[in-house]
Amino acid sequence: MEDREGCIVKYARIIGWGKYLPEKILSNQDLERIVDTSDEWIYSRTGIRERRIATPDETVTTMSVAASRAALAIAGLDAAELDLIIVATSSPDYLLPAAASMIQHELGAEHAAAFDLRAGCAGFVYGLAVGTQFIATGMYRHVLVIGAEIISKFLDWQDRDTCVLFGDGAGAVVLQASEEPTGLLACCLGSSGADYDALFVPGGGSKYPFCQEVLDQGWHHIKMNGRRLYRFAVTTLPQVALEVLAMAGLAPRDITLLIPHQANARIVQSVCERLEIPEEKVFINIHKYGNTSAASIPIALCEAVEEGRLNPGDHVLLLGFGAGLTWAAAVVRWGVPELSISRLFSWNFIRECVPVSEATVTACRATALLTVLTHCLWQLFPGGREQR
């Protein structure tokens, strides 16, 4: 299969990654003052110590734009070069239009198609699979995949079963067509719709549009059956993990890092025990951010790279599950971005290698502009030079 430029394409290399977390921290101690709970209960049952909560100014769009800009900077790519933007979210700014379209506008990605993808907390891995397909068929060269959520807006802050679990945030990756066997090597996606009511927001959709009854019944809040979800996760995830590893021709011991959906540390522990994956090969940040739903895997992936836990050639296992109920497992082979001439000279790349402030970059740009202007003036008015 050839892409638009006549290259043989099969893989979608991850060439950029970024994240955004709201600054506002809500600790377990803060929650103790809101509902009948304790730091001890929350931490021992979930592994969560604190989470980030968006301010009224922060939306799925603003958080996604910030995470995407960071990812594009690492990739050394201009937003205008993007062909497609996929936003995995269950908490978009509006029912209509898709958050993806507003993000496309804010980024200046004028050539990109854009759509939202809803697959609960498994949404980012679904998005990675969809984006990879567009690249593998040769239709697109650069795809931005985002996972972003503001679940805090859908929580009943009197319901201790749910309000202690979730947090807000966004993560993004840039995919680029590549002939090297990197990026997503295999994936296993699925759904168990019979369990749709184990985690759902009953009101506000087309079945129960907003009305007084929806408000009175609290149907605009997340309803969750934690035990059902727990059982689903600990039985399904080990099975699909083995399935996707077999598809990639790998065994659990070949995995460098497992990046699971950060829903509950006990679920992760149970899955690792069944797969015999040691603790040191698992990335966990749930203590800092809680369950950020579709954003949890891209945020964790970004932090894993920042902490130097991934090297070229490493195999990463991504495991997601969530509302639907859905699941998504993927094997990703890590690869570094190719160094093109344009990337080497891009401001983003220079800033990535040499951490300079925005002011320094502006000063350099102004100096360069002044030099060019002076040169032009001297060319236009050579007399001034001669008189002196």
CA–CA separation, 216 and 205 (whole Å) = 16
Q: Please tell me which residue in 121, 163, 272, 302 is annotated as part of the active site.
A: 121
Site size for ligand ACO, by CB under 6 A? 22
Pattern of binders to ligand ACO over 196-215, x per CB under 6 A?
---x----------------
Q: Is 218 in the site for ligand ACO (CB under 6 A)?
A: no
The string of DSSP letters for 218-261 reads TTTS-EE-HHHHHHHHHHHHHHHHHHHHHHTT--GGG-SEEEE-
Q: Is 227 in the site for ligand ACO (CB under 6 A)?
A: yes
Which residue sits closest to ligand ACO, CB atoms considered? 226
Q: Is 322 in the site for ligand ACO (CB under 6 A)?
A: yes
Pattern of binders to ligand ACO over 367-386, x per CB under 6 A?
--------------------
- Minimum CB separation of residue 42 from ligand ACO in Å reads 6
Pattern of binders to ligand ACO over 113-152, x per CB under 6 A?
-------xx-------------------------------
| Annotation says 261 is catalytic | yes
H or E element at residue 75: helix 60-75
Are the C-beta atoms of 77 and 15 separated by less than 8 Å? yes
Are the C-beta atoms of 263 and 234 separated by less than 8 Å? no
Are the C-beta atoms of 163 and 290 separated by less than 8 Å? no
| Annotation says 353 is catalytic | no
Q: Please tell me which residue in 261, 285, 302, 348 is annotated as part of the active site.
A: 261
**Among residue numbers 155 through 184, which ones bind ligand ACO (CB under 6 A)?**
160-161, 164
Q: Is 385 strand, coil or helix?
A: helix
Q: Which of 48, 77, 263, 316 binds ligand ACO (CB under 6 A)?
A: 263
> CA Rg, the chain, in Å?
23
Give the pair of three-digit tokens for residue 213.
Answer: 């009854």
CA–CA separation, 311 and 115 (whole Å) = 31
| Annotation says 121 is catalytic | yes
Q: Is 45 in the site for ligand ACO (CB under 6 A)?
A: yes
Long-range contacts of 312-315 (CB under 8 A, 24+ apart): 312/336, 314/256, 314/257, 315/185, 315/248, 315/250, 315/254, 315/255, 315/256
Q: What residues line the site for ligand ACO (CB under 6 A)?
A: 37, 41-42, 45-46, 120-121, 160-161, 164, 199, 224, 226-227, 229-230, 263-264, 291, 293, 322-323
